[in-house]
Each structure stands twice: as structure tokens, then as C-alpha cells.
Amino acid sequence: MKKIIIAIDGFSSTGKSTLAKQIANKLGYTYIDTGAMYRAITLYAIRHNYISENEFNEKALETDLKQINLEFKSNPLTQTAEIHLNHENVEDKIRNLQVSNYVSKVAANSKVRKKLVEQQQIMGQKKAVVMDGRDIGTVVFPDAELKIYMTASAEVRAQRRYQELLSKGDNVTYTDVLSNVTNRDYIDANRKDSPLIKAKDAIEIDNSNLTLEAQFQSILALVRKTTSSNT
């Protein structure tokens, strides 16, 4: 079967990563979570006091970009790729509400985007990848063979993220999570550089009322159709 690039874009907590992992496992493809890359740079900015509630020292972060090294390394126990920031595994440190609150601002910086997009394009050179993010089908791989655009209501997405954070022991309220989700939606869709938009040739899936299995099967059918029509 011909190897393709599968681009999955959509707002936060639409279940992109769950779906992307399922598809990658089934096909033996590499899954690349581009949000983790933006989150790791945000963690770097927080640790260096470049970003806080009211300030963002973009110049300082831009100057440091050349010394920020990001790598995905497979964890042999979980069999999933985990993000390393300057050789430190930060997978467990990038999903909290603090990083979530600042990441959209960092991701709106054009120099940050340029660095990460270049790195993502190299990762996809050999195809056989499932990549999820906001601009994969529009900017990173405008020629991806299969593009999925995932949506769900803000309330459903906030509820999912809230449950996820609670299960990790984070002390958050549903209201805080909903406000983070809607703020990020706004910034991600309205920034100047590569805003989240549905690519013209993307297939939209609203999964507010879809089970994971139904969603997985419908995407798998799309993959089969795409790979057979491209062989």
C-alpha cells in the first residue's frame, strides 16, 4: 500500500491525538504531535521568565531559538514518542494549565512557527506519518494525501480536557478549563501567521456525538479509499 501523509487539524481537545495515535498504530505509521513542540518551547519560555500573565519577551525567545533542541524519542514502555527539550524528557510537564494558558501566544510568534514547521516538514519527508496540529493541512503539508479537520463543541471539548487533567491529579475547575479552551480557540483562529482554518480539501468530522470506535472506523475507511486510489 502506498505510504501517505495524514494531516489532522482542529481546535484543542477535539480528540486529534487519540485518533492520530490509533491510526498510526493500525497502519504502522509514525505519529507526530506538533502541539507538543509548541508546548515544549512554551515551557522553555516559562522557565526563562520570558512569558507571564501580562508580558511576553518575544525578542529574548527568538534569540534563544537556535539553542532550543526538540526531539521525539520513543518510550520503550509505552511505545509512544515523547518530546525532549534540550535532551530532557518533558512529556509530563507540558500538558498542565500553565503551559496551556501561554502556548497560543508562543505559537503565534512567526519565528517560532518557522523553526517548527521546517522541522515538521523534515519529519514527514519519508511519508508514512500521521501529524496533528492546527496548520498541518494548510501550511506544513498542503499536499498531504488525506486531510481531516476535527471539530466538537467547546463544552464537550472542555469536559474532555477537564476529565483528563483531573485523572492526572491536577487541581482545576471546569470553568477554568472552558475559559482556556475558548481563549485558545480565539487566538489560534485569529492570529496573523497560519491561523487555524479548514483546508479546502479537508474532510470535516464533528465528533461531539461520535464514539471513538465509530470515528476510528470512518477515518480508516477514508485512509483505505485514499491509499487505494493513489496506488
Distance CA 76, CA 31 (A): 15
Binding residues for ligand DC, rule: CB under 6 A, are: 12, 34-35, 38-39, 103-104, 107, 133-136, 184, 188
User: Which CB sits closer to ligand DC, 22 or 104?
Assistant: 104
User: Which CB sits closer to ligand DC, 8 or 231?
Assistant: 8
CB of 220 to ligand DC, least distance (A): 22
User: Which CB sits closer to ligand DC, 151 or 227?
Assistant: 151
The three cell numbers locating residue 109: 510568534
The three cell numbers locating residue 40: 515544549
Contact by Cβ (8 Å): 65, 50: no
Distance CA 216, CA 206 (A): 13
Distance CA 60, CA 40 (A): 16
226 three-class SS:
helix
78 three-class SS:
coil
Distance CA 167, CA 22 (A): 21
CB of 106 to ligand DC, least distance (A): 8
User: Which CB sits closer to ligand DC, 35 or 219?
Assistant: 35
CB of 1 to ligand DC, least distance (A): 26
CB of 128 to ligand DC, least distance (A): 19
User: Which CB sits closer to ligand DC, 174 or 227?
Assistant: 174
CB of 74 to ligand DC, least distance (A): 19
The packing angle between helices 97-107 and 34-47, to 10°, is 100
Contact by Cβ (8 Å): 85, 43: yes
Name the amino acid, one letter, at 22.
Q
CB of 92 to ligand DC, least distance (A): 14
User: Which CB sits closer to ligand DC, 35 or 124?
Assistant: 35
